[in-house]
Amino acid sequence: MTPSVVIFTIIGYFCLLFVISYFASRKSDNSTFFTGNRKTPWALVSIAMIGAAISGVTFISVPGMVVNSGYSYLQMCLGFIVGYFLIAFVLVPMFYKRNLVSIYGYLGERFGVSTYKSGAWFFFISKMLGASVRFLVVCVVLQKLVCDPWGIPFYVNVVATIALIWLYTMQGGVKTLIWTDTLKSCCLILSVILCIYFIAKNLGFSFSEMVGAVAADDSSRIFFFDNPKEGTYFWKQFLAGVFMVIATTGLDQDMMQRNLACKDSKESQKNMIVSSIMQFFVIAMFLILGTLLVMYLNQTGTEIPSKTDEIFGLVASNPAMPIIVGILFILGLIAAAYSAAGSALTSLTTSFTVDILDGQKRYDDNRLTVVRKLVHVGMSVLMGIVIIVFYYVSNQDAISAVYTLASYTYGPILGLFVFGMFCSKAVRDKIVPVVCISAPILSWVIQYALEQMWGYKTSFELLIINALITAFGMWVLSFGNKK
């Protein structure tokens, strides 16, 4: 697969993306940017949410997970479904009832300004780091396929791609994102299905033979009940999935900004339930693809890379593969990664403008538009810097890096909301930031101690530990305060 093929694929996708963005953003205003005017059909949002939840990290990293973890990720995905039900019937009605633009406004109403700002800042850090890791994956792939052969430095690659994303999100905001995410979802699902078809065909499998071969392969094991100390243990993965999706979707301005674009809570609930079930099957297809990729490498005598994120790209760019597989790989990758980065920029702009700068209270509509656009530029520049830093310091596989970061940064947000919803006491609002900063530090100490003293490896349940420490800290701060 030549650099020219990659470039033309990207150009074609972006042409289509800009056309959709143009029509979606016409007559847009601040309300369009922040909430999509709350007129979006729930079925459209549910399709868009598939693409929103699946980033370039999923596209690259999940197929490679089968080498070391089998299909254990599906245990977590089952937890995701339960988490989505809880979001739909607990959080969504609460957010709609309060008519919130930013979901962290709830913390301000419930506790006070310091808690509100703490939630907003932790989201800002969480989303900036998580989105940067996700987008780093696609930048690295493009660097190897296009930029290195043409002698283009990595920082130029990052600047160019961030600039393109800024262009199509600067005007329409969440309304544009829903339409572009729908395009992304369709491209993503089509890409993975066709890649499965072409790779299975190259292996000489019919459909029934492919199903039998995948089912018989050691990498297709789903459930792990044998060793509670391992990170793949079922209950650790399942429970972590429940709380992870509550934190990273239900308490994430990026994801909820789309869900709150429906006209009412019932429409939003339909969207969440349908999209959660569809996401499970899409992830399963990625894992099936991973097994076929490993089979292909074994059949051709190719050594499996030590960094399993490279497996999909290695097979897709193999000269023995039809060029359509490489094109589909690039199409799915850029559809996943660019849309995820675009949505992150939009949500970061919204949260920073509304929560941290108090833009809706401080400025009239014209001034708010100017501030929002300046913040959007600032978020783009900052994301580019973080991506470049990650490129030189990170050596962890991307999907693990994303969830590890989420365990530390979303834990305080989850703890704040849990305490606020299930305990009626007031707290010492000004001390809450101390609790939020202390919780991740104590979580790391507990994680280290468990492994050193008992050989217990904490997985994504670290998020739960973090949230519990935050909630306990809030309980301590509630002593002596009235309801």
- Could you read off the pLDDT tens digit of each residue along the chain, which spans 483 residues? 567 777 787 788 777 777 776 666 665 554 545 554 566 777 777 777 776 666 666 777 788 888 888 899 899 999 999 999 999 998 888 888 888 777 888 898 899 999 999 988 888 888 888 778 777 777 877 787 778 888 888 888 888 888 877 776 665 455 666 777 777 777 778 888 888 888 898 888 998 999 999 999 888 899 988 888 777 888 888 988 898 888 888 888 777 877 777 778 888 888 888 888 888 998 999 899 999 988 988 888 888 887 777 788 778 777 777 788 778 777 777 776 666 677 777 778 877 888 888 877 788 878 888 888 888 888 888 888 888 887 777 655 555 666 677 778 888 999 999 999 888 888 999 999 999 999 999 998 998 888 888 877 776 678 889 999 999 999 999 886 665
Against a cut of 0.85, is the pTM above it?
no
CB 114 within 8 A of CB 432: yes
Closest CA to 189 of 380, 15, 51: 51
187-190's contacts with Cβ under 8 Å and 24+ in sequence apart are 187/13, 187/331, 187/332, 187/335, 188/50, 188/51, 188/54, 188/59, 188/282, 188/332, 188/335, 188/336, 189/50, 189/282, 189/285, 190/328
CB 78 within 8 A of CB 280: yes
Core vs surface per residue 296-309: b (16+ CB within 10 A) or e: bbeeeeeeeeeebb
> What pLDDT, on a 0 to 100 scale, did the predictor assign at position 74?
92
Q: How far apart are alpha carbons 58 and 335 in whole angstroms?
A: 12
> What pLDDT, on a 0 to 100 scale, did the predictor assign at position 415?
92
CB 221 within 8 A of CB 70: yes
Closest CA to 245 of 40, 413, 366, 87: 87
CB neighbour class for 11 (10 Å; exposed up to 12, middle 13-18, buried from 19): exposed
> What pLDDT, on a 0 to 100 scale, did the predictor assign at position 291?
92
Query: In sequence order, what DSSP letters do the residues of 290-312 get, joined into one string?
Result: HHHHHHHHHHTTPPPPSSGGGHH
How many other C-beta atoms lie within 10 A of the C-beta of residue 98? Answer: 12
> What pLDDT, on a 0 to 100 scale, did the predictor assign at position 434?
94
Greatest Cα-to-Cα distance within the chain, rounded to the nearest angstrom: 72
How many other C-beta atoms lie within 10 A of the C-beta of residue 451? Answer: 13
> What pLDDT, on a 0 to 100 scale, did the predictor assign at position 255?
77
Query: Distance of CA 277 to CAs 62, 139, 274, 365, 403, Å?
Result: 18, 30, 6, 39, 21
Q: How far apart are alpha carbons 160 and 142 in whole angstroms?
A: 12
CB 421 within 8 A of CB 195: no
Q: How far apart are alpha carbons 151 and 143 in whole angstroms?
A: 9
The residues, any chain, with a CB within 8 Å of residue 370's CB and separated by 6 or more, are: none
Residue 166 CA neighbour count, 13 Å, CB half: 20
CB 285 within 8 A of CB 58: no
Closest CA to 348 of 379, 370, 372, 374: 379
Q: How far apart are alpha carbons 381 and 158 in whole angstroms?
A: 10
Look-up: residue for tokens 């395009």? Answer: 183
Q: How far apart are alpha carbons 200 and 64 in whole angstroms?
A: 17
> What pLDDT, on a 0 to 100 scale, did the predictor assign at position 39?
64
Mind listing the domains of the chain with CATH numbers?
A: 3-387 (1.20.1730.10)
CB 442 within 8 A of CB 471: no
